[in-house]
Amino acid sequence: MIDIDEKVLSDLRGGFNLPAKPEILQALQNELAKPEPELIAVAAIVAADVGASAAVLKVINSPAYGLARTITDIKQAVMFLGVTCITQLVTGYLLKNAFDQSKCCISLQQFWDNAADISQAAMVIARYLKSAVPAENLQLLGLFHDAGIPAMAVKYPDYNEVFTCSIERPEQTLVYYEEQRYPAPHTVVGYFLASSWNLPKETCQMILRHHDVSYLDESHGLEYSQTFAALKLAENLCFEAKHFRSCADWYVFRDKVMVELNLSEDEYQDLKDDINDLFIN
């Protein structure tokens, strides 16, 4: 379990100019909190934002969802996916647009492309394993789990050095390198951002703890444990596909992930081939 020092949180509140929760997300969360959320109301909220509407339609018509027909209207999308899923998709879109490249010392395009790859890989894993984990949960977690990274890259002009070091020297995790230089790592910053946007508490915990192997030793319920395990597997498979070696922390997660997902070595190799295909096609 990770305990966040109150002084660290106080420093984050005072020192980090984190993106405020967008009004459209607040409106969606308000509707979702009602005893009986109205699909028409959710569709109207999303449709009022052209960018959010386009992003939702792009995602729902992607191969990740494998629909038999093209969805062309937001009302159709809400009817098909439901209000919770639509809210998750919009949240992902809003996050990607929350940071300004001119203020950020890493390439946001590359960062979000990688996050999208992990997000899609996690959904492929869930579909392969016929998991009960909702696809939208994996999609949002894949995009949001490293959201502290662009926030760090806005705050610290030298952050690109640390970020690059973690890729070139993967014997240690990014968190390790961050802790040598900064008061808090990206996991804590991402947790704070997710909490301020009122993401589900367990999602916030997974963002905070996605480098903490003890998470899989605790009782979180099958859905959350499998979501966490699928994320770690997706992270590693994407890293292997791009860098031809495992993530820094895969060796401590591997056995527990394989057990949690009831995954054999042959199935792992099949998934590895499927994920590799994502980057070839």
User: 230 falls in which pLDDT band (50, 70, 90)?
Assistant: very high
Which pLDDT value is given to residue 183? 86
According to the per-residue pLDDT averaged within each range, which of 5-14, 65-74, 212-221 is highest? Answer: 212-221
Which pLDDT value is given to residue 62? 78
Does position 249 have pLDDT exceeding 60, yes or no?
yes
> How confident is the model over 222-247, as a mean pLDDT?
92
Does position 86 have pLDDT exceeding 60, yes or no?
yes
Q: Residues 171-197: pLDDT tens digits? A: 889 999 999 999 889 999 999 999 999
Q: Strand, helix or coil at 90?
A: helix
Share of the chain above pLDDT 90, in %: 57
Which pLDDT value is given to residue 5? 55
Q: Residues near 71 by Cβ (< 8 Å), separated by ≥ 6?
A: 57, 60, 61, 77, 80
DSSP line for 186-238 = HHHHHHHHHHHTT--HHHHHHHHHTT-GGGGGS---HHHHHHHHHHHHHHHHH
Q: Residues 128-142: pLDDT tens digits? A: 887 777 777 888 899
Lowest-confidence segment of 2-16, 146-160, 175-189 by average pLDDT: 2-16
> How confident is the model over 118-135, as a mean pLDDT?
82
**Which tokens sit at 209?**
């703890």
Tell me the Cα Rg of the chain: 18
**Please, what CATH class does the domain formed by 101-281 belong to?**
mainly alpha
**Which tokens sit at 125?**
């894993």
Residue 139 near residue 89 (C-beta atoms within 8 A) = yes
Of the candidates 79, 70, 19, 78, which has an alpha carbon nearest to the alpha carbon of residue 46?
78
What is the helix (H) or strand (E) element at residue 40, kind and residue range? Answer: helix 39-47
Residue 136 near residue 84 (C-beta atoms within 8 A) = yes
Residue 210 near residue 145 (C-beta atoms within 8 A) = yes
Average pLDDT, the chain: 88
Alpha carbons 133 and 144: distance in angstroms, whole number: 17
Residue 136 near residue 88 (C-beta atoms within 8 A) = yes
Alpha carbons 132 and 227: distance in angstroms, whole number: 9
**What global pTM score does this model have?**
0.89
Domain boundaries, the chain: 19-98, 101-281
The number of beta carbons lying within 10 Å of the beta carbon of residue 76 is 15
- The amino acid occupying position 83 is V
The sign of the CA dihedral 274, 97, 226, 80 is negative
The CA-based angle 8-189-229, given to 5 degrees, is 120
> How confident is the model over 233-259, as a mean pLDDT?
93
Of the candidates 192, 43, 63, which has an alpha carbon nearest to the alpha carbon of residue 116?
63
Residue 46 near residue 90 (C-beta atoms within 8 A) = yes
Q: Residues near 85 by Cβ (< 8 Å), separated by ≥ 6?
A: 134, 135, 136
